[in-house]
Chain A
Amino acid sequence: MTNNPYHLTPLRIVPSTENLERIRAYIASAIVSTFLSEVERNGIILAVDEACANLFTHAVAMCPTSVIELRIVVTEHVVTIEIRDQSAAFDLRDVDQPDMDDYFREMRPGGLGIALIRRVMDQIDYVPASADIPFNRLILRKHHRSAS
């Protein structure tokens, strides 16, 4: 990996869970030769899968004809994934995290995707659409542990 950022051509897809495998393949192809361990790479793929599945299920359901766009930039120190959508704004950082002891005691069947994203990624940012930028941006970052 050089100091030059590696940009993969953005992936534009319709919001369907049928496309999750394609999304995972897109992310995997961009990070296969990074500084990250296999566990970390699998974690990033999982986090993006969870973020997109959540988007498909909740936000985009209100606007099924929209298209989402994934962008990924890989540098020596960080992998940055941006997910753009034009549906109702949904900031996953606002979702309360489940206490896993309570979760198991109550045997709840769902609500784990955002918890996984938070456990795997180092930084989560969200920029809702505005008059200037007509799409929401979810930005996920994973840093190289030993990067200076």
Chain B
Amino acid sequence: MSTFTTTVRHGEDGVVIIALHGYLDAHTASEFERELRALIQGGASRIIVDFSDLEYISSAGLGVFMVFIEDVRRDHGDILLASMRENVFSVFDLLGFQVLFTITTTVDQAQQEFRSRR
């Protein structure tokens, strides 16, 4: 069975950083959707997703970001995607997700991106 967990930490200026661990597929995507929904309903709108410990993603995982991106942007926030491994980035790249999402090399760069938008 696929294993997937998340950890949440708080950055500067209300930025929330959610780190993904393991495998995000059709089995685990609903768990991630619940956790991201809880964060957003709790008031988070400036969110960085740290992919550095995510081993694998399929379209079900990509779909979770599509569920929430409109809501957070309406709230003047965003979901920035950071620190992807090559195999994970290639899934986003295959479908051209860079058109809709900002993808940064590191979490620090994502934090800088939020700072630049103040």
Query: Is the pair B67, A56 in contact by a Cβ cutoff of 8 Å?
Result: no
In the assembled complex, how far is the CB of residue A112 from the closest CB belonging to chain B, in whole angstroms?
4
Most chain B CB neighbours (cut-off 10 Å) among A19, A104, A109: A109
Q: Main SS of the interface on chain A?
A: helix
Please list the residues of chain A having a beta carbon within 8 angstroms of any beta carbon in chain B.
17-21, 24, 38-39, 42-43, 46, 49-50, 53, 56-57, 100-101, 104, 107-110, 112-113, 115-116, 119-120
Most chain A CB neighbours (cut-off 10 Å) among B26, B86, B100: B26
In the complex, 28 of the A-B residue pairs with CB atoms within 8 angstroms, ordered by the A residue number, are A18-B1, A20-B25, A20-B26, A20-B58, A21-B25, A43-B90, A43-B94, A46-B58, A46-B91, A49-B25, A53-B58, A56-B26, A57-B26, A100-B96, A104-B99, A104-B100, A107-B69, A109-B63, A109-B64, A110-B59, A112-B59, A112-B95, A115-B95, A116-B58, A116-B59, A116-B94, A116-B95, A120-B94
In the assembled complex, how far is the CB of residue A63 from the closest CB belonging to chain B, in whole angstroms?
18
Chain B residues with Cβ below 8 Å from A42 are 87, 90
Chain B 50-85 interface residues, beta-carbon cutoff 8 Å to A: 56, 58-60, 62-64, 66-67, 69-70
Complex CA gap A38/B90 in Å reads 11
Query: Is the pair B26, A17 in contact by a Cβ cutoff of 8 Å?
Result: yes
User: Any chain A CB within 8 A of the CB of B114?
Assistant: no
Complex CA gap A106/B15 in Å reads 26
Which residue of chain A has its CB nearest to the CB of B100?
A104
User: Any chain A CB within 8 A of the CB of B27?
Assistant: yes
With A21-B1, A112-B59, A112-B63 already in contact, 17 other A-B pairs whose C-beta atoms are closer than 8 Å: A20-B2, A20-B25, A20-B27, A43-B90, A46-B91, A49-B25, A49-B26, A50-B59, A53-B25, A53-B60, A101-B99, A104-B100, A109-B63, A109-B67, A110-B63, A119-B94, A120-B94
Complex CA gap A70/B2 in Å reads 19
A116-B59, A116-B91, A116-B94 in contact; A107/B70 too (CB < 8 A)? yes
In the assembled complex, how far is the CB of residue B105 from the closest CB belonging to chain A, in whole angstroms?
19
In the assembled complex, how far is the CB of residue A45 from the closest CB belonging to chain B, in whole angstroms?
8
